[in-house]
């Protein structure tokens, strides 16, 4: 079989959720947007429900509708994008809770679904989604009278504990919401790690559940094992791959493995990444192409049938660093061609 195997450890996912939940004294939800960060929102959410999760967040209403079909009627599903034009029937039929971000969304929701649950998102400095301070001042009394499920905001720099934006946003959020009785939420994964001042009534971990930074202690959730298609001997001075970017410095053995940028292993990671044959490092050489990657196995005593690209030896963030990006992009780019294996006791 030439298809790589992506193993998703649901027990590790649950362990990460429990570890983050244990760092607070408040309720812990889970973010499963982008198809559970690329790992399958249906399987991810059902596993988290077994651990006690009762509230999920998705990006858009369409994701919420798909999730509702997977998890049934009980969990609360909140939509970060709010109540967009054309979403009314979906929000109503699938019992989704939009996080209202603008005056237009507030009017739309109150007129179309006056008795339907909703939350509110405030902009505390990220300038991305949410009501600005003057807008909130104008509508807060009216909105709070309708008893929203949550008032939330989002931290821009929580992955950097020392960034001055964190206390600045915290102070703004407190100024806008202190004294209200509605539950409040400010912290995703990074905010949880900033400490109890940021926890309020609900936290919303996302990437940390899936083994990503800034949750350094996270258990690895994904492993990617890639089959070797062909082995060849390359003489000193010969090139490998597109554009002759790698020239053999010695007589070498080269393995061609069955994955590439069409599978989410983005081209920019290039020669900054190793793969592993058991515990042995095997450098990626030459260009990452659409379906194939070449690796140097000269120093191996045995020819491998598969190599590990993600797993115990190398995290999504390590691969992301080599590509000049972040672990989120690697996770959410993992391709549809992989054979997916879900691991759980």
1 band by pLDDT with thresholds 50, 70 and 90: low
Last residue of a domain, one of 210, 238, 263: 210
120 and 256 in a single domain? The answer is: no
Q: Is 215 a member of any domain? A: no
Residue range 86-130, pLDDT digits in tens: 999 999 999 999 999 999 999 999 999 999 999 999 999 999 999
Decide if pLDDT at 30 tops 70.
Answer: yes
Residue range 287-315, pLDDT digits in tens: 999 999 999 999 999 999 999 999 999 99
DSSP 153: -
77 alpha-carbon distance from chain centroid: 17
Q: How far is CA 248 from CA 237, 241, 244, 268, 296, in A?
A: 5, 11, 10, 21, 9
Q: What is the average pLDDT across 203-220?
A: 96
172 and 268 in a single domain? The answer is: no
Last residue of a domain, one of 182, 210, 238: 210
Q: Is 37 a member of any domain? A: yes
Distance (Å, whole) CA 27 – CA 202: 5
Q: How far is CA 191 from CA 4, 81, 184, 332, 341, in A?
A: 35, 20, 13, 21, 31
* Burial (0-12, 13-18, 19+ Cβ within 10 Å), 300: middle
pLDDT given for residue 345 in this prediction? 61
- pTM given for the model: 0.93
Q: How far is CA 202 from CA 126, 155, 253, 311, in A?
A: 20, 14, 54, 31
Pick from 55, 58, 111: nearest CA to 88: 111
Distance (Å, whole) CA 336 – CA 35: 12
Q: Is 5 a member of any domain? A: no
50 and 168 in a single domain? The answer is: yes
Which residues are annotated as catalytic? 33, 242
47 and 67 in a single domain? The answer is: yes
Q: Is 295 a member of any domain? A: yes
Domain that holds residue 316: 222-343
272 band by pLDDT with thresholds 50, 70 and 90: confident
325 and 254 in a single domain? The answer is: yes
Q: How many domains does the chain have?
A: 2
176 and 226 in a single domain? The answer is: no
């Amino acid at each position: 079989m030439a298809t790589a195997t992506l193993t998703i450890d649901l027990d590790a996912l649950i362990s990460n959720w429990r570890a983050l939940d244990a760092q607070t004294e408040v309720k812990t939800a889970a973010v499963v947007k982008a198809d559970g960060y690329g790992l399958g929102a249906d399987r991810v959410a059902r596993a988290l429900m077994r651990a006690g999760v009762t509230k999920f967040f998705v990006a858009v209403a369409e994701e919420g509708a798909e999730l509702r079909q997977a998890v049934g009627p009980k969990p609360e599903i909140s939509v970060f994008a709010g109540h967009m034009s054309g979403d009314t029937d979906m929000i109503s039929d699938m019992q989704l809770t939009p996080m209202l971000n603008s005056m237009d969304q507030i009017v739309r929701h109150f007129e179309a679904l006056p008795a339907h649950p909703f939350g509110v998102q405030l902009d505390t400095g990220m300038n991305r989604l949410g009501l600005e301070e003057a807008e909130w001042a104008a509508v807060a009394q009216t909105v709070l009278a309708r008893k929203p499920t949550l008032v939330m905001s989002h931290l821009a720099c929580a992955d950097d504990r020392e960034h001055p934006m964190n206390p600045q946003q915290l102070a703004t959020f407190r100024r806008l919401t202190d004294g209200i009785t509605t539950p409040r939420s400010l912290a995703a994964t990074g905010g949880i790690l900033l400490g109890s001042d940021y926890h309020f009534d609900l936290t919303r971990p996302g990437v940390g559940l899936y083994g990503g930074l800034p949750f350094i202690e996270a258990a690895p959730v994904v492993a990617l094992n890639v089959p070797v298609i062909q082995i060849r001997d390359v003489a000193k001075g010969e090139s490998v791959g597109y554009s002759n970017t790698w020239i053999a410095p010695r007589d070498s053995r080269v393995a061609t493995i069955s994955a590439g940028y069409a599978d989410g292993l983005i081209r920019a990671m290039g020669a900054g990444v190793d793969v592993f044959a058991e515990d042995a490092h095997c450098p990626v050489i030459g260009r990452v192409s659409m379906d194939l990657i070449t690796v140097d196995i000269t120093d191996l005593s045995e020819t491998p049938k598969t190599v590990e690209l993600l797993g115990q030896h190398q995290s999504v963030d390590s691969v992301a660093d080599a590509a000049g990006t972040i672990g989120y992009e690697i996770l959410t780019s993992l391709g549809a061609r992989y054979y997916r294996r879900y691991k759980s006791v």
